Amino acid sequence: MLNQNAKLSAKVFADDIEKAPTRDGFGHGAVEAGKADPNVVVLCADLSESTRAEWFQKEFPERFIEMGVAEQNMATVASGMAAAGKVPFIASYAAFSPGRNYEQIRTTIALNERHVIVCGMHAGVSVGPDGATHQMLEDIGMMRMLPRMTVIVPGDAEEARRAVVAAARADGPFYLRFARAATPVFTTSETPFAIGKALTLWESEAPKVAILSTGSLSYAALEAARTLEAEGIQAIVLHVPTVKPLDEAAVLAAAERAGRVLTIEEHQAAGGFGSAVAEFLAERHPVAVHRLGVRDQFGQSGEPDELLRHYGLDTLHIESAVRALLAA
Amino acid sequence: MALTDSEIANLEKRAENIRETILKMLVAAGSGHTAGPLGMADIFTAFYFHILAHDPANPEWQERDRLVLSNGHIAPVRYAAMAHAGYFPVEECLTLRKFGTRLQGHPERMRLPGLETTSGPLGEGLSQAAGIAYALRMDGRKNRVYVLMSDGEQEEGNTWEAALFTGKHKLSNLTAVMDRNNIQIDGMTEDVMPLEPLADKYRAFNWHVLEVNGNDIRAFIVAVDEAKAIYEKPTLIIAHTIPGKGVPEIEFDYRWHGKPPTKEEGERFLREVRTMGGKVRGEYA
């Protein structure tokens, strides 16, 4: 059953639940962070409309910096601005930042320990028609391997807004991952959110599986849990926006309680969120773990829904994966 | 204000001491780069002992000028200059590259106060300096930003992204200094990947460009003064240096780019440094 303490949207299972892309949360959050702190600046690499950086630009034109198509320079200029007291957000598509500028992020932001917030937009296959070049599926892995880097994949636009505001107030290097497609806004401003904390969305009395999910697919996990409950399969759905540092206590508690874990992410199954969970559980509390993600493939053109279905990341596939895990 | 001959002589003496320290630290380390640090000893001397507003006792002083080292592999010269300027004891230079040292093989800001950035991977210093300069200008601050880069790293795309950005924003509070010593690991720069005409390239990117003998302390200081007077553009000083300057056996030999002297070579080279100007100054201690 739904965790009432999560204070999710009253329309969480309604057909007319509000939908918005997590990138909108970046746009709103950046403006909010900019109002709270005059040192917040936004750098963008020729993608101000689609990243929603232009919302900040309209509000604070003097604090918006157009970098042109130069992601390596964007990351390193941001490092320099942070050195001089600014709080820079850098926005481009995840395929290019951190895809193109990984080494700049590694050396001048992570190793150099600068408070720069790398915002990877249009991540995952749900970018849709643009195809494989733009469908970043390796960024969580790249970023979570970096020492000192905090990695957050918000579940919806509201949580994205709050993650942006929280990252601006915090310190150190951040990677925030956003998506292009409109997805259900299942959290509210009342929903608990803190960097490093997971959120139980669904928890039944005698769960047989813990579904751990990051990003907007947590909503699909929630829908799957409801369907499975009707079949008599009880579950936990743990939404884990902060991939690093992992909320180990929450992951451990869910694994201990349910005894089986299914992880879900719009990312390569190798190296990402599911890997983080599996690595932790293998050392601390070995249980059966199955990871849903893209299996060593690139994406392709298509509509977001059909791509998620094709790569096995929609609600029906989650339900099947749970049944298979229980039968194993 | 023009420097007197005796002031210049004092700076040259400091550069010589810094060269000696560089050789000793490289011998002790058993690895590291030799030619670049020796070639840049005069410029680092000019910065730490004349040009920079800085306070070795308070490396985070808000009003300091920023000296960003892009090509981090010449770190020995920065460490030696910082030590002689009073940031830390000169003896600590002998810990270069050893386990537990603050003097990492490539400079790490988090380990040693007084470094502005962490550097080593090439082509990133100009961008970081541009970010610092942009932010300082946003805040109306008058600090100057200097970035030292190599000629080899002009082969990095990131460098030219930064050159575009710096030119676009007319960051005149930034002065870049290019160590034009014409060598890189695999050979002479013009053989590995021709870079010339460098001055014309930067001018085309909306920079003011000066060329100077980078081993002439007075000429270098004059060039930096001119850069301060240019308000419309960032300035690049192409400093023509002799790689390995001060040790005839090393000078102009690209094979010394990335290796240290052995103990025996170090003793010989130290004697050579000490005979600069024809004046022998004691034996290797």
Interface TM-score (ipTM) > 0.90: yes
Task: Please confirm, yes or no, whether A71 is among the known catalytic residues.
Answer: yes
pLDDT bin (cut points 50, 70, 90) of residue B205 is very high
What is the band of B280 on the pLDDT scale with cuts at 50, 70, 90?
A: very low
Which residues 120-179 of A have a C-beta within 8 angstroms of B? none
Contact between B152 and B184 (Cβ < 8 Å): yes
B32: region left, alpha or beta (phi > 0 left; psi from -120 to 50 alpha):
left
Say how far apart CA A308 and CA A317 lie, in whole Å: 9
Residue range of the domain that includes B217: 5-278
d(CA A161, CA B63) in angstroms, rounded, equals 36
A61 and chain B: CB distance < 8 Å anywhere? no
* Domain membership flag for residue B283: no
Residue B145, strand partner residues? B66, B174
From the candidate CATH numbers 3.40.50.150, 3.30.70.270, 3.40.50.2300, 3.40.50.970, the one assigned to the domain spanning A19-184: 3.40.50.970
Q: What is the pLDDT of residue B281?
A: 43
Per-residue pLDDT at B253: 86
Q: How do residues B120-153 score in pLDDT, each as one tens digit?
A: 999 999 999 999 999 999 999 999 999 999 999 9
Please report the pLDDT score of residue B275 as a whole number. 62
Partner residue opposite A73 with nearest CB, options B121, B139, B158: B158
Least confident piece of the model among A2-16, A184-198, B43-57, B268-282: B268-282
Torsion of CA A17, A18, A21, A24, to 10 degrees: -150
pLDDT, mean over chain A:
98
Is pLDDT above 80 for A18? yes
In the stretch 175-194 of chain B, residues with CB closer than 8 A to chain A read: none
- pLDDT tens string A98-141: 999 999 999 999 999 999 999 999 999 999 999 999 999 999 99
A185 pLDDT more than 50: yes
Q: Measuring CA to CA, how many Å separate B275 from each of A300, B247, B281?
A: 68, 10, 7
How high is the pLDDT of residue B222? 97
> What band does A28 get if pLDDT is binned at 50, 70 and 90?
very high
Task: Please tell me if residue B153 touches chain A, with a CB cutoff of 8 Å.
Answer: no
pLDDT of residue B257: 84
B277 pLDDT exceeds 60?
Answer: no
In whole angstroms, give the CA distance from residue B127 to residue B145.
Answer: 12
**Looking at the DSSP assignment, which residues form a beta bridge with residue A291?**
A263
Chain A residues within 8 A of B234 when measuring between CB atoms: none
The mean per-residue pLDDT over the stretch A7-25 comes to 98
% of chain A beyond a pLDDT of 70? 100
B128 close to A (CB below 8 A): yes
For chains A and B, CB pairs below 8 A equal: 101
Q: Answer yes or no: is B37 within a domain.
A: yes
Other residues' Cβ atoms within 10 Å of the Cβ of residue A94: 29
Note whether B119 contacts A107, CB cutoff 8 Å. Answer: yes
| A50 in reach of chain B (CB within 8 A) | no
**pLDDT of res. B2:** 84
The residue among B61, B108, B124 with the most chain A CBs within 10 A of its CB, best to mutate, is B124
Q: For residue B29, give the CATH number of its domain.
A: 3.40.50.970
Q: Which residues of chain A lie closer than 8 angstroms to B127, CB-CB?
A: 72-73, 75-77, 79-80, 104, 108
Q: Specify the pLDDT at position A101.
A: 98
Chain B residue numbers with beta carbons less than 8 Å from the beta carbon of A70 are: 161, 164-165
List the one residue out of A126, A52, A51, A133 whose CA is nearest residue A95: A133
A73, A103, A105, A114, best to mutate vs chain B, most B CBs in 10 Å: A73
Beta-sheet pairing, A183-184 with A19-20:
antiparallel
Compute the distance between CA of residue B224 and CA of residue B239 in angstroms, rounded to an integer: 11
Question: Residue B283: is its pLDDT beyond 50?
Answer: no
Higher-confidence residue of A202 and B280: namely A202
Cis peptide upstream of residue A21 (ω within 30 degrees of 0)? no
CB contact under 8 A, A68 and B165: yes
Residues 6+ apart with CB under 8 A from A50: A23, A121, A122, A180
A116 in contact with B, Cβ within 8 Å: no
Q: B110 to chain A: nearest residue by CA?
A: A112
Residue B272's pLDDT is: 83
Is there a contact between B22 and B80 (Cβ–Cβ < 8 Å)? yes
CATH of the domain spanning A191-327, picked from 3.40.50.300, 3.10.20.600, 1.10.1270.20, 3.40.50.920: 3.40.50.920
User: Which whole-number Å values give the CA distances from A184 to A271, A272, A314, B15, in the listed order?
Assistant: 26, 23, 14, 66
CB spacing of A70 vs B120 below 8 angstroms: no
pLDDT of amino acid B66: 98
Edge-to-edge strand list for the sheet holding A260-268 = A199-203, A235-239, A209-213, A260-268, A288-294
Question: Which listed residue (A32, A71, A159, A265) is catalytic?
Answer: A71
Interface test with B, best of A41, A77, A100, A114 (most B CBs within 10 A): A77
Token representation of residue A38: 């005059």
Q: Which residues contact B116 (CB under 8 A, 6 or more apart)?
A: A83, B66, B67, B68, B69, B109, B128, B132
Residue B255 located in a structural domain: yes
Task: Flag if A72 and B135 touch (Cβ within 8 Å).
Answer: no
What chain A residue is nearest to B120 in terms of C-alpha separation? A107
**Is the Cβ–Cβ distance between B38 and B80 less than 8 Å?**
no
Which residues in chain A have Cβ-Cβ distances shorter than 8 Å to B157?
Answer: 72
* pLDDT tens figures, B28-41: 999 999 999 999 99
* Token pair belonging to A123: 């991540």
Minimum Cα–Cα distance from A77: chain B residue: B131
Helices A315-327 and A217-230 cross at an angle (nearest 10°) of 60
A66 to chain B: closest CA residue: B165
Q: How far is CA A229 from the centre of its chain?
A: 26
**Closest by Cβ to B118, choosing from A62, A77, A112:** A112
> Nearest CA to CA, how far is B236 from chain A (Å)?
18
Instruction: Say if residues A56 and A63 touch (Cβ distance below 8 Å).
Output: yes
Angle at A306 between CA A300 and CA A307, to 5 degrees: 35
How high is the pLDDT of residue B278? 43
Interacting residues of B82 by C-beta distance below 8 A, sequence separation 6+? B48, B56, B88, B114
Q: Quick check: B41 and B15 in contact, CB under 8 A? A: yes
The count of structural domains within chain B is 1
Strands (E) across B45-134 are located at 66-69
Chain A interface, best mutation among B127, B141, B156, by max A CB count within 10 A: B127
pLDDT at A298 over 50: yes
How do the domains of chain A map onto residue ranges? 19-184, 191-327
Helix intervals (H) in chain A: 22-36, 48-51, 53-59, 71-83, 102-104, 139-144, 157-169, 217-230, 248-258, 273-284, 304-310, 315-327
**CA quadruple A90, A95, A100, A101: dihedral positive or negative?**
positive
Structure confidence at residue B284 (pLDDT): 35
Contacts of A103 in chain B (CB under 8 A): 121
**pLDDT score recorded for residue B133:** 98
Nearest residue of A to residue B140 by CA position?
A84
